[in-house]
Structure 1
Amino acid sequence: MPSPASAHSLTVGPSAGALEAIRRGTNLPVLDVGPYLAGVPGALEQLGADVKMIQEKLGFFAIVNHGIPQSLIDESFRQTARLFEIPMEEKLRHRVGYHHQGYLPPKASILQSRAIIDKIAVNTKKDTNAAWLFMRNRPADDPKVSANVRHRGLNQWPESLPEFRKTLLDYQLSMEKLALHLLPIYARALELPSGHFDSMFKAPEYYQRCAYYHPEKHMEDGQYALAPHSDGSFLTLLPMTPVPGLQVMTPSRDWLNVSYVEGALIVNTGQVLNRLSNDRFIATPHRVINPPTERYALTFFFYPDDDASVAPIPACVGPGETPKYDSRSFYEFFVPYLDDLYHYNDKEFMKEAERTGSA
């Protein structure tokens, strides 16, 4: 009889293509998830082996044949570009506050993170990007909205651009569906039963960051469009754009320039899966440098249920090891994560936040 430790061991090793991409270290590994999504026998095991190797060494990869219509991605980019063209007066009516939902002006925050302080010097410069931030959309009578639960309020949708709301909701639902389909891959990558994560994602949370990176003429030393950080997600999905700017830290602490792959989505692990795996799967630092032309991003951060435990999974704690993280719910992790990461420095914003009790 197989032992409990080996009962769910992977039956295959990493593919030659994934191994070669990691060895070269010049581009992200590209995985074809089409056969798996189509139910081809053996495809889940192969992806599990590839993702295991990638998440232990780099933490970033790209997927193709993922099933998200390119027409939806293209329209989402078009609507996002229009989002940042609406009048500033309307944008400022929807500034981020207590719930971290709404419009974030350029140079209105400093991105810092204690989680990667051993790898990256503490950032002290204002990020130059602008962003609109959305959580899972909730109706006004949602119990968490009624109770004013932090980061679980109503999204701030621009009144003058109703098409954006419809498009983004379609985009988010499609990304949620894909992310749920990817869960068994991560379970097998950790050599767990394929359905291990199902109970954690009955009503998953997510955080959508629509960002605009404009070419900044006067960058300060040590300033970024988006400073180095690691995501707080279980996993993150990001449609690729031909405009360069995203850089990923390699194990040697060099910065890899992410090359464009047509129709691909970038996938990376965040701090939630880093905790669950007891540091086996890294939450890789990454950043966005000043782009050569206008650049937009549609980053979808995928999270478990608020009440799901994000303590290390016992099977991921090896013999003689101890859990490296405490036992807490996802929500108990999420609030301090955002407070640690985003440091608002805009005086007008802080004055309004203090006035409304939202600082």
Structure 2
Amino acid sequence: MMTSASAEIDNKVAASAGVRASIAEGKDLPILDVGPYLAGVPGALEQLGADVKCIQENLGFFAIVNHGIPQSLIDESFRQTAKLFDISMEEKLRHRVGFHHQGYLPPKSSILKSTAIAEKIAVNTKKDTNAAWLFMRNRSADDPKVLSNVRHRGLNQWPESLPEFRKTLFEYQTSMEKLSLKLLPIYARALGLPADYFDSMFKAPEYYQRCAYYHPEEKMEEGQYALAPHSDGSFLTLLPMTPVPGLQVMTPSKEWLKVSYVKDALIVNTGQILNRLSNDRFIATPHRVVNPPTKRYALTFFFYPDDDANVGPIPACVGPGEKAKYDSRSFYDFFVPYLDDLYHYNDPKFMSEVEPAGAGSK
């Protein structure tokens, strides 16, 4: 049964005209100003809840401004990430991804595909051209999950030659985590739930940081992508915008929307965790990255609940006469098969040592 707070958001607060128009036109992402909400302005939470409800039921992607993350930190994170991909291949390969999906992923060494969107988009069979460094929550050597060798909960692989990268990225991740926690009440209200509903699921949240480099390829194979169509597995994803184009989002009409640059904005989208929790009310939108015109870097921050949080459908999101469309399981029990389904890089026939020129071939 929905709460009285649910009735308030469903009946009294409508999505703003700008959000409705942006979704209807399908040419640009809706842009939400979260500054008033973060400053505690009365009514700001309810309006954002209504706007996000409309977005998540239709498009699944939007951009936020006045989010409180210093642009100087984002700019420095991009600078350090560019340096990350310019270190020697020898050092990169010392940190190659493996059991924990933490470390360096060479270009053209993996195939990104997901059964979750196979019916919407043809199954990908081509190796993605991007390279990436993958980091989970930073842990110490005496962390119980590290000591127990829990998969994807190991020690991050930091490049020895770039101590400033580690310092900067840790600050970046910490800032993104704090912002993500502040955004949780918006999603709760968007679902008609009390603002603090998700607090118990995020006492020790997990995250996954993907630092990516998209090299402008002179020639792409037919059906090949810089990053193939997929949907995220996150509760929510935060991505600082870059002037270099490449990201495309699938609209409800199954057209590809080319994301336009908005200065100092963060792209926000939700993934399969919130899709499950909402019993399909909030969509996990397919998106892709096409071959960019020049070097493109990305600092994608995937935000997740606690490992032991139940990510089965929220009872209040299962309407009268409906059935739960997903089973009840812990987030961790969802996460491991999600990554195994999405990333296919351990098969030797997909592996390659080829490094594009200008990306660290020293």
How does the TM-score come out when normalised to structure 2?
Answer: 0.95
Alignment of 1:223-302 (within 5 A): 223-302=224-303
Identify the residue that residue 335 of structure 1 maps to in structure 2.
336
Identify the residue that residue 26 of structure 1 maps to in structure 2.
27
Q: Does the 8 Å contact 1:110/1:345 carry over to 2?
A: no
Offset at 1:218?
1.8
Alignment of 1:1-359 (within 5 A): 4-9=2-7, 10=9, 11-344=12-345, 347=348
Identity of aligned residues (%): 83
Offset at 1:4?
4.6
Q: 1:350 to 1:260 in 2, by over 3 A?
A: closer
Offset at 1:7?
4.1
SS of alignment partner, residue 257 of structure 2: strand
Q: Deviations over 1:115-169 (max 9, x none)?
A: 0011011000000000000000000000000000000000000000000000000
CA distance in 2 between counterparts of 1:278 and 1:293 reads 40
CA distance in 2 between counterparts of 1:6 and 1:286 reads 35
2:302 maps to a residue whose letter is F
Q: Deviations over 1:57-98 (max 9, x none)?
A: 000000000000000000000000000000000000000000
Identify the residue that residue 358 of structure 2 maps to in structure 1.
none
CA distance in 2 between counterparts of 1:39 and 1:215 reads 43
How many residues align structurally?
Answer: 349
CA distance in 1 between counterparts of 2:140 and 2:285 reads 34
CA distance in 1 between counterparts of 2:126 and 2:301 reads 25
Q: Does the 8 Å contact 1:236/1:269 carry over to 2?
A: yes
Q: 1:349 to 1:101 in 2, by over 3 A?
A: farther
Offset at 1:217?
1.2
Offset at 1:6?
4.0
Structure 2 stretches of 5 or more lacking a match?
353-362
Q: 1:154 to 1:40 in 2, by over 3 A?
A: same
CA distance in 1 between counterparts of 2:126 and 2:343 reads 12
CA distance in 2 between counterparts of 1:348 and 1:252 reads 36
SS of alignment partner, residue 8 of structure 1: helix
CA distance in 2 between counterparts of 1:280 and 1:302 reads 19
SS of alignment partner, residue 209 of structure 1: strand
SS of alignment partner, residue 212 of structure 1: strand
Q: Does the 8 Å contact 2:110/2:350 carry over to 1?
A: no
SS of alignment partner, residue 197 of structure 1: helix
SS of alignment partner, residue 119 of structure 1: coil
CA distance in 2 between counterparts of 1:200 and 1:175 reads 17
How does the TM-score come out when normalised to structure 1?
Answer: 0.96
CA distance in 2 between counterparts of 1:13 and 1:141 reads 50
1:178 maps to a residue whose letter is L
Offset at 1:346?
6.0
Offset at 1:347?
2.3
Identify the residue that residue 357 of structure 1 maps to in structure 2.
none
Structure 1 stretches of 5 or more lacking a match?
352-359
